[in-house]
Amino acid sequence: MDIQNASKKDNNKIYFLLIVVLALFATNGILFFRNKKAQEQVLKLSDEKTLMQTEIDKIEAALDKSNNDYALLSEDMQQQQEQARVKIAELREALRKGELTKQELGSAQKEVEELKQLVNQYFAQIEELKKQNADLTNQRDSLKTTVGSVTERAQSLEKQNQELDKKVRAAAALKAIALKAIALKVKSSGKESSVSKSSTAKKLSIVFKLVENEFAEKGMHNVYIRVVDPENNTINGTNGNITLANGEEVNTSYNTAIEYANDSRLYTISWTNPNPFKKGIYSVLLYADGFLMGSTKVELK
């Protein structure tokens, strides 16, 4: 009876030890699976952080690339870029310190997605601005071409108008015919008579008619006389210069005014030489309205 009781007690001890051992195995198993799950969560969290870091790098690289087009951006778009860079810096710092919980990591991932959308919109706006800028450039170039063409046409018309104006002025200019210069001496009585000797000549009488011209303006016209001596000097050249229609400047000896009425009247202009006449051939040239009216010569012996 005692042997049976002792054996029974020993069996109870064995069962108890078995139960303890099984409990330990169960506990270790639970702890193992918990640790394994925690490790998997840590690895997953680490992978998610790495993936987020990669996404942030891509976003920042895209923003850096956009700096080439920074001048195109509006003030609002520039502020958006600066805000995005601030958020990127905050996320980088939090990832570096490892301060993000799983919940915070989820929120950060959401912010990264929002940043990606912002950057995509940002680049879409840049592309639109580029397109608008290209359109404006094309319009400007087209306008330049048009303006250049119009300017060239205007210059051509201006040149044609100038040429036409010259032709009109030339057509309207007075032209002398039957032009001759007669040397005169003046007697003490005041009576004048023609001479051929330089020693007795005191003045020239310039006689002419004008060609009938419907284009010429009726009324008073200034007439400039140039008398050139045998040594090819303009006599009394201090009278002043005139500029002809072709731009040439001419020194004159005398000027007066005559009335043009588009008829065949005879005109006479007298010119007194302030110096003694010399032997030789004198040239007499008449100018009006910027053109040469006519010329003649007179020889004094």
DSSP 51-67: HHHHHHHHHHHHHHHHG
What is the rounded average pLDDT of the residues 78-94? 76
Cβ contact 271:227 at 8 Å:
yes
- Tens of pLDDT, residue by residue over 204-245, are 999 999 998 888 889 999 999 999 999 999 998 666 789 998
Contact between 206 and 181 under an 8 Å Cβ cutoff? The reply is: yes
- Say what the pLDDT of residue 41 is: 47
249 or 132, which is more confident: 249
pLDDT at 42: 43
Q: Whose CA is closest to 167, among 240, 245, 254?
A: 245
> According to the model, what pLDDT value does residue 271 have?
93
CATH class for domain 176-300?
A: mainly beta
pTM above 0.85, yes or no: no
Give 148's pLDDT tier (boundaries 50, 70, 90).
confident
Tokens of 74: 């509006």
Average pLDDT, the chain: 78
User: What radius of gyration do the chain's Cα atoms show?
Assistant: 57
Mean pLDDT confidence for 239-252: 86
Residue found under tokens 């919980």: 101
Segment among 11-15, 140-144, 169-173, 259-263 with least mean pLDDT: 11-15
- Dist CA 155 CA 136 (whole Å): 27
pLDDT band at 278 (very low <50, low <70, confident <90, very high): very high
pLDDT band for 14, please (50, 70, 90 cuts). Answer: low
Evaluate if residue 103 carries a pLDDT over 80: no
Mean pLDDT (whole number) for 180-195: 90
Q: What is the tens place of the pLDDT at every residue in 15-73?
A: 666 665 565 655 655 554 555 554 444 445 566 677 777 777 777 776 676 665 555 56
Terminal Cα distance for the chain, rounded: 193
* Structure confidence at residue 69 (pLDDT): 57
Question: For residue 117, what pLDDT band results from cuts at 50, 70 and 90?
Answer: confident
Could you give the C-alpha distances from 19 to 5, 8, 11, 24, in angstroms and in order? 21, 17, 12, 9
Q: Judging by beta carbons within 10 Å of its beta carbon (0-12, 13-18, 19+), is residue 108 exposed, middle or buried?
A: buried
Residue spans of the domains in the chain: they are 2-131, 176-300
